[in-house]
Amino acid sequence: MTFPDYEAVGFKEILVKLEGAVVTVTLNRPEQFNTFSIVLSEEIVQAFELFDKDDRVRVVILTAEPTAPAFCAGANITGGWSNLWSPEVEKQGHRAHRDRGGRVSLAIYHCRKITIAAVNGHAAGVGVTGLQLPFDFRFAWQGAKITFPFVRRGIAAEAVSSYLLPQLIGHSRATSLLLSGSTVNPTSHLISSLYHQILPTKEEVYPAAKTFANELAETTSQTGVAYTKALLRHPGESIEENQLRGSWVFSAMTHEGDANEGAQSFMQKRKPKFKDTLSSTKTPWTPWWRLVDLKAKL
């Protein structure tokens, strides 16, 4: 199987760089405060769908240039909301609409690799909901201004944030943030549990995330990660169903090369060299949950 040359894909509003097993996506619209354009959203979806299938990739980082005035200032609503619609959907009505922020969230959320948001600047709206919540880990600059402004813009929480935010930090904090529209720093008691690590300066955020990513790329199993993510997101409707799903995964995986290498390297007190990949493993990717097709019939 051959994998893409990311430099040759022709991305316009993001930069994508693969180093070893870690790929870094840099938002590349600094003059527009990295606002969330149609092109940007489509490129992020495309990139994460590629990473999901690229066996070389173990960890993905999303960040912005630390010199940009914001990590992502949200959607650009200088012309009102109409620039968010495609003409086809406008003709079909509300039921055919698929929120662009949500499409980005889902592409990141469905990526089976470890994902890290390195939030090295201010973030508003979809810059939090779409570009932070669906990640596995969030690193942030302690001075970043974080805002969920929806109720102050006359709309409701978007980009599947009403699903993800309460799951991540509980309904008490999620409700405080989404219904107040207040601006907070990552160290605020309202939001701190969203972040894996909070750094004193903008400049430290990406390096800290990269060091962590490199460590995870060297020490974690690609299949172990993918199935742990699957179990976390689809735990089953009861603890008993979780035991059934988890037991099947456990039995299948412990017969594989990575589990053997995991046990051996542990006993030999050395770093593991995991070789199983999502396309090579004998444990087939077998979703036990209902797959939902979100395409609208136009």
Interaction with its own copies in 168-187: which residues (CB under 8 A)?
A: 168-176, 178-181
- Least Å distance, CB 154 to its own copies, is 3
Q: Taking CB under 8 A as the criterion, which residues in 187-206 touch its own copies? A: 189-190, 192-194, 196
Residue from 292, 295, 297, 298 binding its own copies (CB under 8 A): 292
Phi, psi of 267 (to 5 degrees): -65, -35
Give the residue with the Cβ less far from its own copies, 10 or 93.
93
If one asks whether residue 285 binds its own copies (CB under 8 A), the answer comes out as: no
Instruction: Determine the size of the site formed for its own copies (CB under 8 A).
Output: 110
Q: Taking CB under 8 A as the criterion, which residues in 246-265 touch its own copies? A: 246-264
If one asks whether residue 136 binds its own copies (CB under 8 A), the answer comes out as: yes
Residue from 1, 2, 269, 290 binding its own copies (CB under 8 A): 290
Residue from 203, 241, 279, 288 binding its own copies (CB under 8 A): 241
Residue from 294, 295, 297, 298 binding its own copies (CB under 8 A): 294
Piece of the chain touching its own copies by CB under 8 A; list 32-40, 60-68, 96-104, 202-210: 96-104
Q: What residues contact 217, with CB distance under 8 A and at least 6 apart?
A: 20, 21, 22, 58, 59
Residue from 156, 201, 211, 288 binding its own copies (CB under 8 A): 156
Give the residue with the Cβ less far from its own copies, 11 or 138.
138
Residue from 6, 33, 141, 227 binding its own copies (CB under 8 A): 227
Angle, vertex CA 17, rays to CA 16 and CA 21, nearest 5: 125
- Least Å distance, CB 192 to its own copies, is 7
Please report the sign of the dihedral spanned by the C-alpha atoms of residue 208, residue 213, residue 214, residue 220: positive
Give the residue with the Cβ less far from its own copies, 6 or 135.
135
If one asks whether residue 208 binds its own copies (CB under 8 A), the answer comes out as: no
The bridge status of strand 183-184 relative to strand 146-147 is antiparallel
If one asks whether residue 266 binds its own copies (CB under 8 A), the answer comes out as: yes
Phi, psi of 124 (to 5 degrees): -135, 150
Piece of the chain touching its own copies by CB under 8 A; list 22-30, 64-72, 154-162, 202-210: 154-162
Residue from 34, 63, 220, 277 binding its own copies (CB under 8 A): 220
- Least Å distance, CB 5 to its own copies, is 28
